[in-house]
Amino acid sequence: MAIVLGENRYGKAETRLVRVARDGETHTLTDLNVSVALSGDLADTHLTGDNAGVLPTDTMKNTVYAFAKEPGVGEPEEFALLLARHFVETHTQIRAARVGIESFGWERLGPHSFRRQGDHTRTAEVTVTVEQTQVVSGISGLTLLNSTDSEFHGFAQDRYTTLPETTDRILATAVDARWRHLRDDTDWAKSFPAAVEALTAAFVGTYSYSLQQTLYAMGSRVLTELPEVAEIRLALPNRHHYLVDLSPFELSNHNEVFIAGDRPYGLIEGTVTRDDVPPAITEWYP
Amino acid sequence: MAIVLGENRYGKAETRLVRVARDGETHTLTDLNVSVALSGDLADTHLTGDNAGVLPTDTMKNTVYAFAKEPGVGEPEEFALLLARHFVETHTQIRAARVGIESFGWERLGPHSFRRQGDHTRTAEVTVTVEQTQVVSGISGLTLLNSTDSEFHGFAQDRYTTLPETTDRILATAVDARWRHLRDDTDWAKSFPAAVEALTAAFVGTYSYSLQQTLYAMGSRVLTELPEVAEIRLALPNRHHYLVDLSPFELSNHNEVFIAGDRPYGLIEGTVTRDDVPPAITEWYP
Amino acid sequence: MAIVLGENRYGKAETRLVRVARDGETHTLTDLNVSVALSGDLADTHLTGDNAGVLPTDTMKNTVYAFAKEPGVGEPEEFALLLARHFVETHTQIRAARVGIESFGWERLGPHSFRRQGDHTRTAEVTVTVEQTQVVSGISGLTLLNSTDSEFHGFAQDRYTTLPETTDRILATAVDARWRHLRDDTDWAKSFPAAVEALTAAFVGTYSYSLQQTLYAMGSRVLTELPEVAEIRLALPNRHHYLVDLSPFELSNHNEVFIAGDRPYGLIEGTVTRDDVPPAITEWYP
Amino acid sequence: MAIVLGENRYGKAETRLVRVARDGETHTLTDLNVSVALSGDLADTHLTGDNAGVLPTDTMKNTVYAFAKEPGVGEPEEFALLLARHFVETHTQIRAARVGIESFGWERLGPHSFRRQGDHTRTAEVTVTVEQTQVVSGISGLTLLNSTDSEFHGFAQDRYTTLPETTDRILATAVDARWRHLRDDTDWAKSFPAAVEALTAAFVGTYSYSLQQTLYAMGSRVLTELPEVAEIRLALPNRHHYLVDLSPFELSNHNEVFIAGDRPYGLIEGTVTRDDVPPAITEWYP
């Protein structure tokens, strides 16, 4: 029996970049949080402290800022591809690079004035190895609520079950979704809003008997409408809204007054996939 | 010398209420975080543990939910007034009630479907005493950015000053504003968006030589356009965006690539007021 | 009626400073978060953008770091006094300086090795005007719990009251306290732990009929044991622990199994003071 | 090509449990955050909304509270094993249960008085399938700092490298570690503090040429001292402390005054393993 080094990677996390593109009076704003992780032939630094193969994480940060100037950022998936390929192509000891980007939206108020949107964060996670490339797009923080058209009954019961069945409840969730692409040259600017539109439309349009059913509807809608997507993973917290018992105050409550609960919450996680796609080259969702 | 009880109050903080109003198929959603604080003749519980005057904070929570059913919530200022008056009017030992409300916006997606907006939180803080009433409206989290039209120079210097003067910088802030009303019967549904519009327009339209100047422009614009407002307090973090030095990479950087800093940040706080308004009945901003 | 500038101040918030003092092999670590706010003759920058009186907030940051080197930091109250006096003494347009410090504790593991403590944050808030000085010490995040010796009954009731009376409950709170000193030359290194010890001992030793009673016991204990303290303000969230109803599972629950609630929570705020102390020169707690 | 359901699971996250064990006057406190996730034969609810196999997440919450009463909680690993086995054994459609627990420490102040510790969170993550059992223990938030005995030089360079080499720097990290056990009947109460002691001692005792080297030293120390551990995964943020340039103020700075940076930060992740252990039955770290 020996003690050995297993899987490892290192990088610079959360490099905050704001890029202003100036086209005369009219500016365009890109606001990103970029994380880089590299892996490869890195045993020496772990075992002996010999850093000959270690590109400093400070250099990764510099590279993010320099590439933001030239060639510029473009869509998050594009910028992540650019960066990930750079590290693998320019350093032979680096066998794989993973670049994750959070992109924060800003609404235009004027030629060079903006208001930050807060209703979701767009994500991109790109993995480039010496042989393969994988692009995963995503969204987090998209909070959706149906105030009716949600039931939950006919469920399994045991001695610890006290939940009453319901034919009318609030269904609310903060969508966290990641979808893996089949190709690395998709039209990212078109694909992302199409995915968000599909997710939202499926949530709104599904008469729900369980959040699992809604999850599957959302995932399959994305696959149906976006042929470029291989599979999609959804993590949907069930943000419980508890009906308040107003009977002590001689008041009725026909699904009108709710406590918005913090914890605990349900958590429904699932993948919807095509049955003929190649496997992922690495774990692709958090 | 004796040790004595000074100012005190108590209450229930952060009661989370979601109210669905059902008008046939079409639902309306109100999403609030309600905090109640009462003060008055409360020495006994502090000094001896005699709770005869103490209305339980649990009762405050129940009252929030019961009032949400009947008479219903309306605008945040209205609901806060209703609650605060109730406590002062029904319990003689309560001399003052303060009700603070955070209101979270949801965008309509369908007759009973909604997406949470995340770009700001609306606030209302009402104080009712046996003699007076004070209404303060507000906003937090409204994040604005001008990518040019901001200068900073001609400032005071001392031996610790190293900041270069600039004639072109990013100006960004997350607006935290509270404005005190002259009356308690304003059209709240009209007043709030008008205030936000004034704040935003002044930020966008001011060519800025300091964030203080922008603050004053924002405050005075609200007072100019909303005669119902007595005074306004703004707390504006200066969210620094640092220009990246790309010269080591033989790249120029004409205000294109920035580091978005977290800490430290500037913090500019100021009040803009009318010179003839009655004083506040209590401290009115956090 | 005219629109005029009211109270204002500006500064640099949250300058993060770590100071290592090296006494041979043995190092000492100080870890601070320093916020500076200045006020005075600052109308010009608000009204016209003339910054002649505005010392840049960047200079405040530099001053924090330079003073950390020389003369060094010492106790948080000392360092805050040093900084606040510097700004008022060296810039005539500055009439008042407020310096707030959060101090994070580290436990020694070796001559130059440390583990961060997480059980509380020590605070100091100093206000220096051209005429007066005020020192406020404090603590936040000190979380205390008694699993018995707490009752709550005999309280006021109305139509919205449903809370049952109890003679045995958990009492838990996260202490947020600020105490104002009579002098500016107290032995800060001795005073702070004495205050924490008094707060903790009073919480532990009080058989409680209300959190208000415990609050008063804590505050008066500090005043009794620390003659250097003029008054103390406590803000105590009542962190509710709800007894779980296990009867559906044919299990008893004699105060053994609790839900730790997040929201809503009670919030008890009160000041304990001496009846003969001079008034504060400015609002002195958040 | 067809669209199909892939991997999925569901559960109740973050059930907050406080358990008081009363041994006469002397109480013992356990404070846990419990998350349950089940997987198995759950296609129906996704595809048709038929919930016959779905044990409500509300029932999982009830089970946590009921089991806390009887048989009681014990060590986090024990309680997680108990819960996970229960779900798999009592519901045939459930093929795997994963129970994650965060345990918050409280220091005793008296027979029934406690102060919450904040310097780390202990974790346990147990996976039980119909055939196998896996126990992973862990810690998060353990923040360690060496103020010297850390160098970083001899690293790879490219055109984007500007970092100067250093022979003396601060090394600071917040340890996030998970270690997988070989057995499910270890003495958990002894094993956890031994692991923390090994991690801490290795951090303190390693003269470091890279954080990777320190990571490997920490991991191998745990494996050396705890024969019950199969492998360990460490995620170590490199919490940069930047030396302040005080030369503009004619002051020296021999590693005395530092900026504690927030973002970006380095992130070093690695596994240290034994070369002869059976593989994990599922991904075992976040």
Burial (0-12, 13-18, 19+ Cβ within 10 Å), A283: exposed
Distance (Å, rounded) from C-alpha B165 to C-alpha B156?
11
pLDDT of residue A42: 97
Residues linked to residue C146 through DSSP beta bridges, in sequence order:
C171, D113
Which residues of A are known catalytic residues? 12, 57, 240
Beta-carbon separation of A258 and B110 below 8 A? no
Q: Can you tell me the distance from the alpha carbon of D227 to that of D186, in angstroms, rounded to the nearest whole number?
A: 10
pLDDT at A286 over 90: no
Q: Are residues A242 and A163 in contact, defined by beta-carbon separation less than 8 angstroms?
A: no
Nearest to C6 among B7, B163, B273 (CB): B273
pLDDT at B286: 83
Count helices and strands in chain B by DSSP H and E runs: 5, 10
Positions of C annotated as catalytic residues are 12, 57, 240
pTM across the whole model: 0.98
Of D31, D7, D4, residue with least CA distance to D17: D31
Q: What's chain B's average pLDDT?
A: 97
pLDDT digits (tens, 9 = 90+) for A214-271: 999 999 999 999 999 999 999 999 999 999 999 999 999 999 999 999 999 999 999 9
Determine phi and psi for A99, rounding to 5 degrees: -120, 120
pLDDT in tens, C151-203: 999 999 999 999 999 999 999 999 999 999 999 999 999 999 999 999 999 99
Cα distance between residue C110 and residue D146, in whole Å = 9
Task: Taking residues A32-47, report their average pLDDT.
Answer: 98
| CB C10 within 8 Å of CB B173 | no
In this prediction, residue A23 has a pLDDT band, given cuts at 50, 70 and 90, of confident
What mean pLDDT is predicted for residues A51-65? 98
Q: What is the pLDDT of residue A95?
A: 97
Enter the tokens of residue D24.
Answer: 């006469």
Does the bond joining C286 to the residue before it have cis omega, within 30 degrees of 0?
A: no
Tokens of D200: 């801490």
**Per-residue tokens: A145:** 């609520």
- Under 8 Å CB pairs connecting chains C and D tally to 176
Amino acid present at D146: N
Percentage above 70 pLDDT, chain C: 100
3-state secondary structure of B148: coil
CB contact under 8 A, B156 and C49: no
State the Cα–Cα distance between residues B62 and D100, nearest whole angstrom: 34
Per-position b or e across D176-193, b if 16+ CB within 10 A of its CB: bbbbbbeebebebeebbe
Contacts of D248 in chain B (CB under 8 A): 162
Q: Tokens standing for A131? A: 């042989």
Residue D143 tokens read as: 């923040």
- Summarize pLDDT for C55-111 with one digit per residue, the tens: 999 999 999 999 999 999 999 999 999 999 999 999 999 999 999 999 999 999 999
Percent share of chain D, pLDDT over 90: 97
- Is residue C23 scored above 90 in pLDDT? no
Q: A178-211 pLDDT, tens per residue?
A: 999 999 999 999 999 999 999 999 999 999 999 9
Quick: pLDDT tens for B90-121.
999 999 999 999 999 999 999 999 999 999 99
Instruction: Tell me the average pLDDT across C264-283.
Output: 96
Neighbours of chain B (3+ CB pairs under 8 A): A, C, D
Which three-class secondary structure string do you get for A178-242? EEEECCCCCCHHHHHHHHHHHHHHHHHHCCECCHHHHHHHHHHHHHHHCCCEEEEEEEEEECCEE
Q: Taking 90 as the threshold, does the pLDDT of residue A213 lie above it? A: yes
Subunits touching A (CB < 8 Å, at least 3 pairs)? B, C, D
Do C55 and B283 make contact, defined as CB atoms within 8 angstroms? no
Supply the pLDDT for residue B109: 98
Mind listing the pLDDT tens digit for each residue in D87-122?
Answer: 999 999 999 999 999 999 999 999 999 999 999 999
Peptide bond connecting A286 to the previous residue in cis, omega within 30 degrees of 0 = no
Considering the candidates B57, B59, B200, B271, report the single residue annotated as catalytic.
B57
- Selected residue of C28, C112, C173 to mutate for chain D interface (largest D Cβ count, 10 A): C112
Residues of B in contact with A259 (CB under 8 A): 16-18, 65
pLDDT at A38 over 90: yes
Q: Which residues contact D175 (CB under 8 A, 6 or more apart)?
A: D120, D139, D140, D141, D142, D143, D144, D199, D203, D218, D234, D236
Q: C96-105, pLDDT tens digit by residue? A: 999 999 999 9
Pairing relationship of beta strands C265-274 and C229-238 according to DSSP bridges: antiparallel
C-alpha A117: how far from its chain's center? 17
Within 8 A of D61 by CB-CB distance, chain A residues are: 264
Instruction: List chain A residues with CB under 8 Å of C159.
Output: 249
- Count the helices and strands in chain D (H runs, E runs): 5, 10
Which chains reach chain D with 3 or more Cβ–Cβ distances below 8 angstroms? A, B, C
Looking at residue B42, its pLDDT comes to 97
Interface confidence (ipTM) of the complex: 0.97
Is residue A1 scored above 90 in pLDDT? no
Q: For C25, which residue in chain D has the nearest alpha carbon?
A: D148
Q: Under a CB-based contact definition with an 8 Å cutoff, are residues D285 and D241 in contact?
A: no
Closest residue to C162, CB basis, from A159, A248, A263: A248
Query: How close is the nearest chain C Cα to the Cα of B25, in Å?
Result: 31
- Confidence bin at C41 (pLDDT 50/70/90): very high
Per-residue pLDDT, averaged over B3-13, amounts to: 98
Mean per-residue pLDDT, D214-234: 98
Question: What's the rounded mean pLDDT across residues C2-26?
Answer: 96
Q: What percent of chain B has pLDDT over 70?
A: 100
Instruction: Quick: pLDDT tens for B11-40.
Output: 999 999 999 999 889 999 999 999 999 999
Question: Is residue D23 scored above 90 in pLDDT?
Answer: no
Centroid of chain to Cα C197: 15
pLDDT of B285: 87
**Residue B137, strand partner residues:** B124, B179
Mean pLDDT of B237-245: 98
Task: Measure the CA–CA gap between A161 and A144, rounded to whole angstroms.
Answer: 28
pLDDT at position A52 is 98
The answer to whether the beta carbons of residues D182 and D146 sit under 8 Å apart is no
Residue keyed to tokens 């003269």: D207
- CB contacts, 8 Å: C102 with chain D: none
Give the pLDDT confidence score for residue A100 in this predicted structure: 98
How long a stretch of residues is chain A? 286
C-alpha to C-alpha distance for D53 and D92, rounded to whole angstroms: 9
